[in-house]
Amino acid sequence: MKRKNTYDIILFAILMALLFLPMLQAHFLHIPLKPLNGVAIETERPKFDFESYRSGTYAKQQEAYLSQHFGFREPVVRLYNQYLWDCYKKTYAHDVVAGKNGWLYYPQSVEDYYGTELYHWHHSASEARQFLQNEAKYLDWVRTLLKENGIELMAFIAPEKGFLYPEYLPERQHDTAIFNAREYFDEQLTAMDFPHIEMTRWFQQMKDTANHLLIPQTGGHWNFSSVYAADSLFRYMETLKGIRLPQIEIGKLHTSDKYAYEAETDLEQTLNLARPIRLRQPMTPEAEVGIKSDTSCSKPKVLFIGNSFFWRIAHYIPLEQVFGDVEFWYYYSTAYFGEGLSKTEKVLKYNLLEKLLDFDYVVWFTTGKQLYKGTLGFAENALVALTIGDSLMMAYARPIADTIRPDTLPDGTLKSALWMATNYIKHHPEVIPELRGDSLPALRNDEIPYARHTKDIRKDSLWMQALEAQAFLRSATMKTMLHAEVDRLRAGKSFYRDQQAEIQFSLRCQQETKALMERMRGNPETMEKVKEKAEKYGKTLDKALEDDAIWLIRQKYRLDQCRLIDDPDAKIPLPPDFLLE
C-alpha cells in the first residue's frame, strides 16, 4: 500500500510539474530556447476594461496572447510539428510542399510543373501567353533603347527545382491545357534574338553527371552550383560588349560550412521540426572561389534585378573583384548596394532613367515559376522612363487624373490625382499611343542627354571630389550639386570643378570644422546643448554636432548666403588672406 501511495505521489508530482513548469518558464525561469523559424507577428498583451470584457474581445485577445507566450512554447511547437510530419507528412508551413522520400518544394514549383500555377495570376493559358508576349516585347524595346546609350540588357532564368527533380514531386493531376511560362518566354526571347540564359535546360544535362545535388533536397534554392552558373553568365556578358572580365577560379571541393547547411535546408527550417529529416541527402560540397584579373580585364558597373537566387552568387563570389560597382534590386523593390551589398534603399525613390543609364550592364534575374508575374513592372517602368519626358508625361497624365473621383484620393488634391495617373501610365505603357503596336517606338526621353552627362561626371573621381568640396560651401547634397554641374555644362557656363580657389577654401573649411568638433566634444556644456538638439530634431549626436560645427564655420566666413538652391551662380566670399596653394 505504501508503495502504491509513493507511486501516486510521484505521478502527481510529475503532473503538477508538467502543468506549472510552462508558467514558471514564462514568468520566472527565462530558460533560453532555440527560437522558431519564420515570420511571427508579435501579439501585445490586451488591456482589461469593462467594454472589452462585455463584448468578448478581451477573451479573444488574451487567448491569442497566451498562445504566443506560454512557457516552453518553442519545443512544444516543434514536438507537435514532428508528430504531424512523422505520422501524416503534414505541415502548417504554407510555403512548403512535401514530396517523395523527404524532398521538399515550394508550392509554386509543384504547381508550375503540373501546369496550374498560371491560374493564380491569369484566367487562361491564352491570357498568360498574351501577357508574356507583351513582357518580352517591352524587354526587347528596353534593350534597344539602353543599347543606344552603350548599356547591355540581358535576361537570366535560374533553374527550377520541380523540373530538375520531378521524380520526387508529389503525385498530382496534370492540367490538360498545360502551359509553362518558362518554356514559352524562352521561345519568345529566342525568336527576338534577345540575349538570355535559361538554366533549367543546362542543369538537366548536368544532373546525371554531377556527383552531388544541384538543388538541395530540403532547400528551395540552388547551392554551390550557383558559382558554375555565374561563371557562364559572366562569360556571356563578355561576348555582349567584346570585353574581358576577371576570371572565376574554383578551388578543391570540400565539406560545406554552416552557411551552406542553413542555405540548403531553408525549406526544412520553416517546418520547425524537433529533429532533422532523416532521409536528407549528403551536403553539397563547396570550394574556395578566387578571382584572377590582369590589366586586360574590364570591371564594368552592373545592375542585377531579380529574386533571392542571386544571394547565393553574392555569397560565394566576391563580386566587387569582378565588377567596378554592383547593385541588386531585390524583386524590383529594395535596392542593395555598397560594400557587401549592405546598404538599402527603396527603388521607388530613384530616378529610374538616371540609374539605368549609370550602369554598363543590366541583368534581369528570375526563375520559371515567377515568370507568370512577368518582370514585376520593371520592363514597363523602364520603357516609359526611356521614352517619355516630364512634360509629355504630364500631358498624358492630366486627362487620366481628371477621370479620378476626388473621394477616392488620399487627400483629394490634383497633385495626388496626377501621381496616381503617372503611376498608372508607368505600369500600362499601352495607354500612350506611341507605345502601342509591335514596332520600336520613335519617342525618346529628352532627359537622356542630361543623364548621360551625369554618368560621365561620376566616372571622373577628381571631378566628383571637386563637387563634394563645392557641396560643402554651397550647403547642397551631392545629388543637387551634380545636377547643377550638368546644368552649367548644358548652358555653356564655367564648371564648379574649375573653381580651384573655392575648392581649396572648402578643404580648409572642412578641416576647421573637424577641429571645431573636437573642441566642442571637450566642452560638457556645449555637448549638453547639442544633445538637446539631437533629441529635438531626431538626429544622432554626431550628426547634430557636425551640423552645429558647419553652421558656425559658415557664419564665420559669411557663407550663409551661398546656398545652391537660392543662387547657383553665387560667388564664394573668400577671405582676404586666402591664397590658392
* Region at 155 (left for phi over 0; alpha for psi -120 to 50; beta for the rest): beta
pLDDT band at 403 (very low <50, low <70, confident <90, very high): confident
Half-sphere exposure of 298 (CA within 13 A, CB side): 14
Which has more confidence, 175 or 46?
175
Which range is most confident: 22-36, 37-51, 409-423, 541-555?
A: 541-555
Instruction: Give the mean pLDDT of 349-358.
Output: 93
Q: What is the residue-averaged pLDDT of the chain?
A: 86
- Does residue 471 register a pLDDT over 90? yes
Instruction: Give the mean pLDDT of 21-29.
Output: 55
Q: Which of 99-108, 334-343, 450-459, 538-547 has the lowest mean pLDDT?
A: 450-459
Enumerate the domain spans of the chain: 2-90, 101-381, 389-431, 460-556
- Does residue 579 register a pLDDT over 70? no
pLDDT band at 280 (very low <50, low <70, confident <90, very high): low
293 burial level (CB within 10 Å; 0-12, 13-18, 19+)? middle
pLDDT of residue 139: 97
Angle CA(490)–CA(492)–CA(493) in degrees, nearest 5? 110
pLDDT in tens, 508-525: 999 999 999 999 999 999
Instruction: Give the mean pLDDT of 270-275.
Output: 78
Sign of CA dihedral 183, 189, 193, 194: negative
pLDDT in tens, 107-162: 999 999 999 999 999 999 999 999 999 999 999 999 999 999 999 999 999 999 99
Q: Which residues contact 176 (CB under 8 A, 6 or more apart)?
A: none
Share of the chain above pLDDT 90, in %: 56
- Does residue 43 register a pLDDT over 70? no
pLDDT band at 271 (very low <50, low <70, confident <90, very high): confident
Q: Cα–Cα distance between 300 and 238 in angstroms, integer?
A: 10
- Does residue 229 register a pLDDT over 90? yes
438 burial level (CB within 10 Å; 0-12, 13-18, 19+)? exposed
Q: Which of 109-118, 244-253, 407-416, 531-540 has the lowest mean pLDDT?
A: 407-416
Q: Which of 172-176, 209-213, 308-312, 356-360 has the lowest mean pLDDT?
A: 172-176
Scanning 165-282, the segments in alpha helix (DSSP H) are: 181-191, 199-207, 225-241, 258-264, 266-271
Which range is most confident: 70-74, 241-245, 451-455?
A: 241-245
pLDDT band at 406 (very low <50, low <70, confident <90, very high): confident
- Does residue 306 register a pLDDT over 60? yes
pLDDT of residue 82: 76
> Residue 9 corresponds to which cell in the numbers above?
505521489
pLDDT band at 81 (very low <50, low <70, confident <90, very high): confident
CB distance 317 to 289 below 8 Å: yes
365 burial level (CB within 10 Å; 0-12, 13-18, 19+)? buried
CB distance 159 to 223 below 8 Å: no
Single-letter amino acid, residue 561? Q
Instruction: Give the mean pLDDT of 334-361.
Output: 94
Scanning 297-439, the segments in alpha helix (DSSP H) are: 310-316, 319-322, 352-357, 378-387, 390-402, 414-427
In the chain, the largest separation of any two C-alpha atoms, in whole Å, equals 109
Helix (H) / strand (E) containing 153: strand 152-158
pLDDT of residue 140: 97
Q: Cα–Cα distance between 474 and 571 in angstroms, integer?
A: 10
CB distance 430 to 396 below 8 Å: no
Q: Which of 297-301, 361-365, 457-461 has the lowest mean pLDDT?
A: 457-461
